[in-house]
């Protein structure tokens, strides 16, 4: 009798455990602003810039207190100590365009090498990174403005993200 009761208890517990397992459907999350992220992302870009750009891409204008159905364009500013991004969103939350400016960030390796090769005895004093994105244009504008110093002399140069002088 003890064996029968014990067997029934084990059977009931086993049945109860299996009944609690439910299969949930797979969830796929797609970034609304993947075109923006694909255009501006570069592995060699400064990490603080990448983090702010991701924040801009993930921003949900519909959840903002600024959102109202009657407006077609929303301008939102994002700031960090190194720079800022002004982003224009449409009423669906997609990025229309951005204007980005960052100061004194880590330069990409290609830019550093190009400056070192062309101006070997010069040191970096300041730099500014500019980015302009527009979803209707194929080309994105990325430019580094660099101030170099060698003793009493200073020089300003402009480069693209590949290290080509402009």
Show me where the domains of the chain are located. Answer: 25-159
Quick one: pLDDT band at residue 27, thresholds 50, 70, 90? low
Per-residue model confidence (pLDDT) at position 96 = 94
Q: CA 67, CA 43: separation in Å to the nearest integer?
A: 33
Say if residue 113's pLDDT is above 90: yes
Q: With 90 as the cut, is the pLDDT of residue 8 above it?
A: no
3-state helix, strand, coil in the chain (%, to 5): 30, 35, 35
pTM of the model: 0.77
The pLDDT of residue 9: 73
Q: What is the pLDDT of residue 139?
A: 82
33-50: pLDDT as tens digits: 888 988 898 888 899 999
| Residues 67 and 105: beta-carbon distance below 8 Å | no
């Amino acid at each position: 009798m003890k064996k029968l009761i014990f067997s029934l208890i084990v059977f009931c517990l086993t049945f109860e455990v299996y009944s609690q397992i439910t299969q949930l459907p797979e969830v796929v999350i797609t970034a609304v602003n993947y075109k923006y992220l694909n255009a501006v992302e570069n592995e060699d870009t400064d990490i603080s810039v990448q983090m702010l750009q991701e924040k801009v891409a993930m921003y949900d204008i519909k959840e903002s207190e600024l959102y109202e159905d009657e407006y077609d364009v929303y301008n939102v500013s994002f700031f960090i100590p190194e720079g800022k991004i002004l982003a224009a969103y449409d009423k669906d939350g997609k990025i229309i365009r951005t204007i980005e400016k960052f100061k004194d960030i880590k330069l990409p390796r290609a830019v550093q090498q190009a400056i070192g090769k062309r101006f070997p005895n010069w040191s970096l004093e300041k730099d500014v990174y500019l980015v302009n994105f527009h979803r209707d244009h194929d080309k994105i504008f990325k430019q580094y403005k660099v101030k170099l110093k060698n003793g009493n002399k200073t020089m300003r140069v402009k480069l693209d993200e590949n290290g080509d002088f402009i």
